[in-house]
Amino acid sequence: MSGKKKNYILTETAERDFRQTKQWSLSRWGKKLTTQYFKDLHQAAQYIALNYQSLPEKDYLTGTTELGIYAVREHYLIYVPVSKTQIVIVGLIRQTRDVPAIIKENNYLFRRELKKIQKSVEKGKIKFE
């Protein structure tokens, strides 16, 4: 993914989710398929950032939170739009898990990490388009 423009950033929780998913994928599929899987995740995140306004809401999974959710292969990308072309990815959850319960359980953590990102934006450490 290096060198490609990103219209998204990851929270600490999302970074951890991606690392765990990568380790799991490497042990299950090997390097070649894992690399393709992560390219697909990157492309989906880019798509979400540029098209989230037209994506259907899935309140049955996210509850009444401001979170968006998008299926990519075996996972859901959990995100929050922050500008017209930028999202913050707060989590990556396997579709076979109890997604609503995980979101509910982690809602406080997601909000705390989003506030931390907002402070970084205000200080100029992170710039959104």
Residues comprising the chain, all counted: 129
Banded pLDDT at 129 (limits 50, 70, 90): low
2: pLDDT strictly greater than 60: no
pLDDT tens, residue by residue, 10-35: 999 999 999 999 999 999 999 999 99
pLDDT tens, residue by residue, 41-98: 999 999 999 999 999 888 778 776 789 999 999 999 999 998 889 999 999 999 999 9
Banded pLDDT at 128 (limits 50, 70, 90): low
- What are the sequence ranges of the domains in the chain? 8-121
pTM value?
0.87
> How high is the pLDDT of residue 6?
82
Beta bridge partners of 75: 72, 94
93 in Cβ contact with 78 (< 8 Å): yes
Q: Token pair of 11, please?
A: 């929270």
1: pLDDT strictly greater than 50: no
User: 10-44: buried (b, 16+ CB within 10 Å) or exposed (e) per residue?
Assistant: bbebbeebbeebeeebeeeeeeeebeebeeebeeb
Is it true that domain 8-121 has CATH number 2.40.110.10?
A: no
The stretch 105-126 carries a mean pLDDT of: 87
